[in-house]
Chains A and B, each alone.
Chain A
Amino acid sequence: MSSTEQKQPDNLAANKISRRGFVASAATVATSTAAFGIPTFIPANVLANPSKGRLGANDKIVVGNIGCGGMGSSHIRPDSAALCDVDDDHLANAAKRVKEGTPTLYKDFRKLLERKDIDAVTIGTPDHWHAIMTVMACQAGKHVYSEKPTCKTIEEGRAMVNAARRYNRIVQIGMQGRSNPPVTKAVNYVRNGQIGQIKRVEIWHPLNFSTDKYYEPTAVPAGLDWDMWVGPSRWIDYHPLRCHFNFRWMMDIGEGFIRDRGNHAINCVSWITGMDDYKGKVRVKAKGTPKLGGMWDAPQTMRVEWTFENPEWTLVWDQPGTPNKRFPGEWGATYTGTTGDLVLTGGDGGATTEQKAMDYTPPASGFHAYLEPIENIDPTERHRMNWFNSIRRGKRSAADVEIGVQVITLPIIGNIAWKLGRTLTFDYATSSFINDAEANRHLSNPYRAPWHL
C-alpha cells in the first residue's frame, strides 16, 4: 500500500480489530490499532485506470434507479439515466425528479441492466428482489447501492457477496448508520472502552403495524405489473394492503419492523460492539403475539434474544420494549457494559446519542470510526457519496454487502425462531442451524420460475 492510498474504512482490511479481542478487552484501550487519517486530497491511484475498468476521480458515474417508490425514490439523481419500476405511477413521479436529460423508463430491470452506458444502479424494491437484482447487476458489471434489508435468506446473502467479489463491484447496503456522525461517536465511545466489556444491548421499538381489514379479491390497478412485483416469491394475489410499503407486515415478504428499522438498529449494534466479523455461534429465542384482527400476519409484539459466545453477551430486540428514561426516543438501544452504559436512539438517517459520547475524543492510538469526510451533509446523502467515492477509489464502501449480510442474519434467524416457536442455535461459521433440519430448510427460499440465483 502506498503512503498516499486512501485507507479503507475500519470494517475492512485496515485498522481491523477482532471482535473477540475487542469485546474481551474493551476496558483497556491499549489494544486498539493505530489511528488513520482520511486524506481530503485525491490520491493518485484512484485516477482513471481504463485497463481495470475503474472510474477516475472526476469521471461521471452514470446511474440507473431500480425501484422508484418509497425509499427508492430518494436515490433518484437529477441526472439519473434510467428509471425502472413495476408501477407506472412510481415511474411517472420519478421522471419528474430528473432535471438533466430525459431518463429512459423501464418496467423490467433486466432491460436496464443491458445498458452498457450505466455504471451503477440503486435498488429500492421490496426485500424479495434485493438479492437477485444485486447479483444480476454485478454480473452485468454494475456497482450497486441496495436498500436494506440486504436479503431475505442466508443463501441469498452468500450469493450477493460472491457476486460482488467475483465481479469486483462496490455493493453498498442502505444502512445509513454507517454514515451518521452520532453513530460514529457511539462507536468511538464504546470501542475505546468507555463502558467496559459489553454485556447486553436492548433495542426498543414500537409495535408492528396492524390492520382490521381482510383480504378480498381486488383487481390489479392498471399500470402495475403484479406478476413482476411478486417476482421470485411464491404467488400471492394482489391486494393494496399487500403491495408497496404494506408488504412489510406480511411474513412471506416483509417480516416486520425487525427487518426494517431493526436492520438499522442491529447494524449500529454490530459496528459499536465490533461484531462485523463474528463467526461464532449464536443462540436465538423469540416470542411474539400474532395479530389476528386483520390480514397482516407479522406478530404485533415481538421479543428476540440473541446470545453470543466467548465472551457471552446478549442482544435483545423488543417491541414495544422500554425506552431508556435517561435518553428516550421513539426507538433506540441501551448498551450496557461492565463499567457503564450508553444510549443511541435511531440509527438510520437519524440518530442521536448521549452528550458524553458526543464530547468524547478517542486517543490518537484508539479506535476511530470511519466517516466519509464531507461537511454539512445529510447522512443518507453522505452514505450515497461514500458509495460513489468508493467506486472511484476501488475500495469497499462503509456498509459493504458482507457487513449487510452479517447484520441481516440476526433478523433472519430471529424470524425463523419465531415461526418455529423454539430456541435455535445458529453457527456463523457454517451458516446453518445446529441439529435442526426443519430450521435449516428455512435458510433458502425456492424461487418461482424463471427466477434463480
Chain B
Amino acid sequence: MADQPTIASLITQIKHGDTIARTSAVLQAQLIGTDAIGPLGAVYAGKDAAASRAACEAIKHIVYNAGRPSAPTEAKAASVALLKLTAPNYPRFVRADAIEGLGVVGGIAEATELAKLLSDKDVSEDARLAIERIPGPEVDALLKLTARTSSKEGRAAIDLSLKHRHKDMKKIGIK
C-alpha cells in the first residue's frame, strides 16, 4: 500500500521533472487538504514554470473539494489559506487565482477582506468579481458601504455587481 501523501511528499512530486509524477501529485492533493495550499502557493509563485503550473492545478483541486456540501470547516480553512495568497508579496497571477477561489468558497468574512483589495489597482477588479459571487445580504451591505468611499469608477463597478446580484432571471437580457 502506498504511503499516505504528506505536504512534503506532495511538494516534492509537484516539483518533479516528470509530467506523470506531477499529474499524480495533483490528483492526490485533495487527500492532504487545505494545509497544502500555503506551500503550494509558494511553488505557484516560483520561477519553475512546470512546477508552478502543477501547483496552481493542485490548489484548485483542494479548494473546489473543500467547497463541497456539508464541509463548512474545510471551506473556511481553504478560505483562510487563500487569503494569505492574496498578499501583495505574491505575483499578480497568484493573487488573482486566490481571489477567484475565495469567490467560490468564501463567505461574508472573506468578502470583507476582499473589499480591502478593491483599492488595490493590481487586483481590484478580481476582488470585485469574487465578492460578486459570494451570496448573502451582508455582502450587499458591504458593497454599498464600500461604494461610499470608492472612486467614481469604483462606484460604477460596484453598482454593476449589485445589479447583477439582484437580477431577475425572467428579465435578464432585457433593457
Binding site for B on A (CB under 8 A): 135, 138-139, 155, 158-163, 166, 214-215, 234-235, 237, 289-290, 292-295, 297, 419-422, 431, 435-438, 441-442, 444, 446-450, 452-453
**Inter-chain contacts of B125 with A (CB < 8 A):** 234-235, 448-449
Q: Is the CB of A289 within 8 A of B23?
A: yes
Tell me, rounded to whole Å, the shortest Cβ–Cβ distance linking A28 to chain B: 38
Cα–Cα distance between A441 and B69 once the two chains are bound (Å): 13
Q: Is the CB of A420 within 8 A of B68?
A: yes
**Inter-chain contacts of A161 with B (CB < 8 A):** 173
Q: Is the CB of A292 within 8 A of B26?
A: yes
Q: Is the CB of B64 within 8 A of A419?
A: yes
Query: Could you list some 22 contacts between A and B, CB below 8 A?
Result: A135-B173, A139-B175, A155-B167, A162-B170, A214-B50, A214-B53, A235-B126, A419-B60, A419-B64, A421-B64, A435-B69, A436-B69, A438-B68, A438-B105, A446-B133, A446-B164, A447-B160, A448-B125, A449-B160, A450-B156, A450-B160, A453-B172
Q: Is the CB of A163 within 8 A of B173?
A: yes
Residues of chain B from 1 to 57 with CB closer than 8 A to chain A in the complex: 19, 22-23, 26-27, 30, 49-50, 53-54, 56-57
Q: Is the CB of A452 within 8 A of B160?
A: yes
Cα–Cα distance between A446 and B99 once the two chains are bound (Å): 13
Known: A162-B170, A297-B57. A446 touches B132 (CB 8 A): yes
**Inter-chain contacts of A214 with B (CB < 8 A):** 49-50, 53
Cα–Cα distance between A446 and B175 once the two chains are bound (Å): 18
**Inter-chain contacts of A294 with B (CB < 8 A):** 53
Closest 7 CB pairs of A and B: A159-B173, A438-B67, A214-B49, A163-B173, A162-B173, A446-B129, A446-B132
Cα–Cα distance between A317 and B133 once the two chains are bound (Å): 29
B157 within 8 A of A: yes
Cα–Cα distance between A295 and B54 once the two chains are bound (Å): 10
Cα–Cα distance between A289 and B27 once the two chains are bound (Å): 9
**Extra 19 A-B pairs, beta carbons < 8 Å, given A234-B100, A448-B125:** A158-B169, A166-B173, A290-B27, A292-B22, A293-B50, A294-B53, A295-B49, A421-B30, A436-B68, A437-B135, A438-B67, A438-B69, A441-B103, A441-B135, A442-B104, A446-B128, A452-B160, A452-B163, A453-B172
Considering the complex, give the chain B residue whose CB is closest to the CB of A287.
B27
Tell me, rounded to whole Å, the shortest Cβ–Cβ distance linking A241 to chain B: 13
Known: A162-B173, A234-B129, A452-B164. A420 touches B64 (CB 8 A): yes
- Give the dominant DSSP class at B's interface: helix
**Inter-chain contacts of B100 with A (CB < 8 A):** 234
**Inter-chain contacts of A435 with B (CB < 8 A):** 69
Tell me, rounded to whole Å, the shortest Cβ–Cβ distance linking B70 to chain A: 9
Tell me, rounded to whole Å, the shortest Cβ–Cβ distance linking B41 to chain A: 17
Considering the complex, give the chain B residue whose CB is closest to the CB of A451.
B160
Partner of A292, one of B30, B50, B105, B170: B50
Tell me, rounded to whole Å, the shortest Cβ–Cβ distance linking A293 to chain B: 4
Tell me, rounded to whole Å, the shortest Cβ–Cβ distance linking B170 to chain A: 7
Cα–Cα distance between A452 and B57 once the two chains are bound (Å): 29
| Range of interface residues on B (Cβ < 8 Å) | 35 or more
**Inter-chain contacts of B103 with A (CB < 8 A):** 441, 446
B65 within 8 A of A: yes
B96 within 8 A of A: yes
Q: Is the CB of B64 within 8 A of A292?
A: no
Q: Is the CB of B26 within 8 A of A290?
A: yes
Q: Is the CB of A162 within 8 A of B174?
A: yes
**Inter-chain contacts of B152 with A (CB < 8 A):** none
**Inter-chain contacts of A289 with B (CB < 8 A):** 23
B61 within 8 A of A: yes
Cα–Cα distance between A295 and B61 once the two chains are bound (Å): 17
**Inter-chain contacts of A159 with B (CB < 8 A):** 172-173
**Inter-chain contacts of A421 with B (CB < 8 A):** 30, 61, 64-65
Tell me, rounded to whole Å, the shortest Cβ–Cβ distance linking B36 to chain A: 15
B171 within 8 A of A: yes
Q: Is the CB of B169 within 8 A of A155?
A: yes
**Inter-chain contacts of A290 with B (CB < 8 A):** 23, 26-27, 57
Considering the complex, give the chain B residue whose CB is closest to the CB of A235.
B125
**Inter-chain contacts of A420 with B (CB < 8 A):** 64-65, 67-68
Tell me, rounded to whole Å, the shortest Cβ–Cβ distance linking A391 to chain B: 20
Considering the complex, give the chain B residue whose CB is closest to the CB of A160.
B173
Cα–Cα distance between A135 and B57 once the two chains are bound (Å): 34
**Inter-chain contacts of B133 with A (CB < 8 A):** 441, 446
Partner of B53, one of A295, A431, A447, A452: A295
Partner of B173, one of A431, A444, A449, A453: A453
B161 within 8 A of A: yes
Partner of A163, one of B60, B68, B174: B174
Considering the complex, give the chain A residue whose CB is closest to the CB of B26.
A290
Q: Is the CB of A292 within 8 A of B174?
A: no
Q: Is the CB of A292 within 8 A of B19?
A: yes
Considering the complex, give the chain A residue whose CB is closest to the CB of B65.
A421
Considering the complex, give the chain A residue whose CB is closest to the CB of B61.
A421
